[in-house]
Structure 1
Amino acid sequence: MKKVPYLHPFSKILGVTVLFFLLISTSIYAQDEASAEASPEQTEAAAETDGDPAAGKTLFNQNCAACHALDRKMTGPALANVEARLAEDEGLDREWLYSWIKNSPGMIASGDAYANKIYNEYNQAAMTAFPTLSNTDIDNILAYTAAPPKKPAVAATSEAAPGAAGGSGSGVSNNVILGALALVFALLVVMLVLVNRTLKRIAEANGVVFVEEEAVKRKPLWKAFVDNQFLVLVSVIVLLLGSAYFAYGWMMQVGIDQGYEPIQPIHYSHRIHAGENKIECKYCHSSARVSKHSGIPSLNVCMNCHKSIYQVSEETLAEGKQEYGVDYNQEIKKLYAAVGWDEENQRYTGNTKPVEWVRIHNLPDFVYFNHSQHVTVAGVQCQECHGPIEEMEIVSQHSPLTMGWCINCHRETNVKIEGNEYYEKIHDELSKKYGVEKLTAAQMGGLECGKCHY
C-alpha cells in the first residue's frame, strides 16, 4: 500500500506561522495593556492659584450659580477669569473682590466707582452680600473661575499617541492587533482547507470511495396535509376560532389608547421635574384644583425657573444623551425660542412662537369628567389615574380610562368623609339607608349614567 504523508509540508509551515502570530499578537497586546496602566494620564498643567478649584466649584454652585455663569451673561456678568480681567481693565485687586462679595451694598453706598458702574449696568439690582464667606472661600471660588477648561478626552489621546513610542509603551494601536488576529483567522481557514484535501488524498490512497446516498423520494408536506381530511377539518376550525378571538379583541380596543406615548415638540422630562426636583404636579397644572380640565401649563410657568436655569449638569446631560437620546440643553433653547427670550441680554424680544403640544389623555366628547371634583373634593392623587408620573421620562397614558375602569374605581373607593363638609348631609342620609359607616362613590350615585354622560 502506498504511503501518503498525513500532512502536506505547506500545512506544517502554516501551522508554525499561525503559532508565531498568536505568540507575537498576545505579547504585543499584553505589553500595550501594561504600558497603558503604568503610564500617567497626560494633561495640561493648570494655572497656579492660591485656592482649591475643586472646593471653589462646590462653593460657586451653592452661592453663585443662581445668577452667574462662567462663560455667559445671566442675571449678573460672566465670571470666567474675573480676577484677571478686573486687574487688567480696572486695576482692582483681590482685596476689592473680598469687600465686594462680602458687602456689595456697602461698596455701592460708599461711592466706589466700579461698584456703582456694575450696579447701574445690571438694572440697579445690588448683588446679594455673602458675609459668611471667608477669604479662603473666596480664594477657592476665584481659583475655580480662573481654572482653564479641560480638553476633550479625544484630543488628549491623539496628543499622547506620538510620544508613546518613545516611552515604555509599545506604541502599537488596537487596530494593528485586530489586523494581526484577522490574519491569523484567515490562515486558520486556509490551513483547514489544506488539511481536508490531505485527508481526502489519504483516504483515496487507501481505497476508500466516497459514495453519495440517493435521496429518498417522499410525498410533499402540503400534499400529505391535503390528503388527511380530518387534519384539514381541525385546522380550519382552529383558524376560525382564533380569527374570531383576535377580531373580537381588536374591536374591543377601539378608542382605548393605553400606552399612547407621543413625541412632543419640546421634550419635557417629568422624571427630572416631578421626580428629582420634587416639583408638585399642581404647580404647573394649577387649574386641576378648580376647573374641569387640568390645563396645559403656560410657558411663562416654565420661565419662572428657566430664566436662570439655562443648562443642566454634565451628569444629567450625559444621562439624557445615553439613556434617552435627548440633549436637554437644546430643549431649553427650544423653550427660549418659543417665548422669545434673549439669553444674551436677559430680556423678552416679543417674537413668540406657539408650541403645538400633542394631547395624550383624551376622553370621548360624551363623557363628563371634572378634575376639581376628584382632586380637591375627593382628594385623589394624580398618580392614581396617571400612574408614576414622577418616574416617566416621556409621559404615556398609564390607565385605560374605559367606562369599566372608572366604574370599578367608584365601586372600590371609599369617599373621604372626615373633615369634608361637602359630604356631611348626604353621608348621614345614605349611611342610614345602607346601614354602613363607609360609603363608596358608587353608593353615593357614582354609577348613575347622568353623572358621567351628557
Structure 2
Amino acid sequence: MKKVTYRNQISRVLGISLVVFLLFSISIFAQDEAAAPSSGDPAKGKALFNQNCAACHALNRKMTGPALANVESRLSEDEGLDREWIYAWIKNSSGMIKSGDAYANKVFAEYNQMPMTAFPTLSNTDIDDILAYTAAPPPEPVAVADTAVAEEGAGNSSGITNELILGALVVVFGLLVMMLFLVQRTLKRIAIANGLDLEKMKADQGVPLWKAFAQNQFLVLVSAIFLLLAGAYFAYGWMMQIGIDQGYTPIQPIHYSHKIHAGDNKIDCNYCHSSARVSKHSGIPSLNVCMNCHKSIYEYKGNPEGPSKEDLANGYTNEFYTGEIKKLYQAVGWDEENQSYTGESHPVEWVRIHNLPDLVYFNHSQHVTVAGIECQTCHGPVEEMEIMTQFSPLTMGWCITCHRDTNVKVEGNEYYAKIHEELSKKFGVEELTAAQMGGLECGKCHY
C-alpha cells in the first residue's frame, strides 16, 4: 500500500512539474513575442507612409509634425516608450492627450497644439511596416549625372565634335581660295609666256553687262518697280509683326515648370489661376497658393530613374528645382526649421507673357466657364512646357477665325435658350457659331 501511495505521489508531483514547465514556457514565449514584435516590410511601409504620413511628416526633418527616422528607437531610448504606445498614439492621439499622457501632451504643446489625425483603420501590422520603413537606412544616392555624361561620352567615342568639323571646313575653304589664287596666277604666266596680250583681250570683249543694262531705260524702270514692290511687301510683313509676341519666352525670377506641375502632377490650371473662372483676368497666383503644397514639398525628388539627358543639358537637375523651392521660401518668408512664417516677405517680380492691347476687351470667365474652352486652346500644350511661352499669336484675325469656326455650347444653359431658338431659325442651322451670335461685332471686343 505504501509503495502504491508513493508512486501516486511521485506521479502527481511529476504532473504538476510538467504543467508548471509548460506554463512557464508559454509565458516566456509570449514575453519574447511582446519584446520582439514583427519587424515589418519596409517596401509596404513606404507606400503606407506616403499615403498617410507624408503630408505632415518627413524622415529627416521637422514639418507639421516631427521627423520620423528611427522614431521607435528614439522613443525607446529617450522616453522609455514601447511599440504599444506608438500603436495607441497613431490610432487615437487625441484620446492619449486627454488621458494625460506626459509625452503625448509634450508633443502636442511643442507642435502648436495641433492634434495628429487619428488612423484607427491602420492595423498593427500596417504600423509595423511603417516603422520598418522609418528605421531602414537611406538608399545610396545614384550618380545619374555621371552616368548620363558617361553615356554621352560613349556616344561620341570617335572624339569628333561640331567645333572640330567646323574648323576643318574653314581650313578646307581657305585652301580652296588659295588654290584658285595660285591657278589664276599660273594661267596669267602661261598667257604671257605664249605672247598673249591680256589688255587687248579685255578690250575686245566689248561693253560689260552692267553697263549695257544701265543704258537700257526700260529694263531699269521694270527693275525699279520690281524692287519697290518687293520692298513694300517685306516692309508690310515686318510692320504687321509689331506687337505680336508669339514665341515670347521670358526667364522668370523663380523657375516654374508647367511640365512638372500641370504635366507630371496633373494639377488643374484653375487651381492656381482660380480667377479665370469668375473674372476677366486669369490672375497671377499668390505665393500662398504655392505654399499650400510646398510647406510639405521642400525638395524635388523627380523621376525615380533620374533626369533625362535633355534636362541635364539644360541644367534641370533635382538640385536645381530644390534651389528654386528655396527661393520661394525666401520670398514668402518661410522658416523651414521652425515651420512658421517669419513675416519678412519679398515680392516676386514676375514677367508678364500674354499681354493684349489696352483697346481690347477679353473676359476669361466668359470663355472658361460659359464657353467651356480648355486652356490649351489658346495657351497651347502647357503641360509640356518647361518654360511658359506665348503659343498663339493673339491677333484680331486669329480671334475672328476662332469665332467663325467654334460652335457655342448652349446645351443646359438657359441663358442661350431663347437666343438659340431665334437665331437657329434665322440661319437655318442647329448649331450656332460665336460669329452668328454676334461674335464679330466691334463692340464685343473693343471699348
User: TM-score, length-normalised on structure 2?
Assistant: 0.69
What runs of 5+ residues in structure 2 fail to find an aligned partner?
1-37, 147-152, 160-182, 192-197, 199-204
Does 2:368 match 1:380?
no
Give the distance between the partners of 2:387 and 2:280, measured in 1 at CA: 24
Counterpart among 327, 334, 346 of residue 334 in structure 1: 327
Would you say 1:290 and 2:283 are equivalent positions? no
Alignment map for 1:317-396 (pairs within 5 Å): 318-319=306-307, 322=312, 324-326=314-316, 327-396=320-389
Q: How does 1:144-183 map to 2 (within 5 A)?
A: 144-152=133-141
Summarize deviations over 1:232-275 as a string: whole Å, max 9, x none: 989x8898776555433322211111111111111222222222
1:397 aligns with 2:390: yes
Residues 4-15 of structure 1: pairs in structure 2 closer than 5 A: none
1:65 is the counterpart of 2:54: yes
Q: Counterpart of 2:187 in 1: which secondary structure? A: coil
- Indicate yes or no: 2:108 matched with 1:108: no
| Letter of the structure 2 residue corresponding to residue 386 of structure 1 | H
Decide which structure has the larger Cα Rg and report it: 2
| Deviations, residues 326-382 of structure 1 (Å, cap 9, x unaligned) | 322222221221221111112111111111111111011111111122222222221
Does structure 2 conserve the Cα–Cα contact (< 8 Å) formed by 1:317 and 1:329? no
Separation (CA, whole Å) in 2 of partners of 1:243 and 1:284:
47
Q: Which residue of 2 aligns with 1:415?
A: 408
State the number of aligned residues: 348
Q: Distance in 1 between matches of 2:117 and 2:74?
A: 21
Aligned to 1:424: 417
CA shift in 2, pair 1:115/1:356, >3 Å: same
Percent of residue pairs identical: 75
Q: Deviation digits for residues 110-161 of structure 1, max 9, x if unmatched?
A: 332212211222222222233343444333333332333345567xx9xxxx
Matches of residues 120-199 of structure 1 in structure 2 within 5 Å? 120-152=109-141
| 1:275 aligned partner | 263
Equivalent residue for 1:305? 293
Q: Evaluate the alpha carbon distance shift between residue 153 and residue 453 of structure 1 in structure 2; reply closer, same or farther with a 3 A threshold.
A: closer
- SS of the residue corresponding to residue 301 of structure 1 reads helix
* Rounded Cα–Cα distance in structure 1 between residues aligned with 2:92 and 2:209: 98
Q: Residue in 2 aligned with 1:257?
A: 245
Q: Distance in 1 between matches of 2:40 and 2:254?
A: 41
- Counterpart of 1:304 in 2: which secondary structure? helix
- C-alpha displacement at 1:398, in angstroms? 0.9
Letter in 2 for 1:112: D
| Aligned partner letter, 1:325 | G
Which amino acid in the other structure matches residue 321 of structure 2? Answer: Y
**One-letter amino acid of the structure 1 residue matched with residue 377 of structure 2:** E
The residue that corresponds to 1:216 in the other structure is 187
Structure possessing the higher relative contact order (Cα contacts under 8 Å, 6 or more residues apart): 1
Alpha-carbon deviations, 1:247-306, whole Å to 9, x = none? 333222111111111111112222222222222222221222222111111111222222
Alignment TM-score, normalising by the size of structure 1: 0.68
SS at match of 1:354: coil
> In the aligned structure 2, how far is the partner of 1:325 from the partner of 1:392?
15
Distance 2:361 2:46 in 1: 53
Coordinate RMSD, CA, aligned: 3.4
The 2-side partners of 1:423 and 1:135 are apart by: 59
Q: Does 1:83 align with 2:72?
A: yes
Deviations 1:380-414 (A, max 9, x none): 22111111222222111111110110111111112
SS for the counterpart of 1:416 is coil
Q: Which structure 1 residue ranges, 5 or more long, are not aligned?
A: 1-48, 158-173, 182-211
Deviation at 1:73, TM superposition (A): 0.5
Change (3 A) 1:269 1:314: closer
The 1:401–1:245 alpha-carbon spacing in structure 2 relative to 1, beyond 3 Å, is same
- Alignment match, 2:8: none
**How far apart are 1:52 and its partner, in Å?**
3.7
Contact preservation (8 Å) 1:56, 1:140: yes
Distance in 1, matches of 2:139 and 2:132, equals 14
How far, CA to CA, are the matches of 1:120 and 1:294 in structure 2? 41
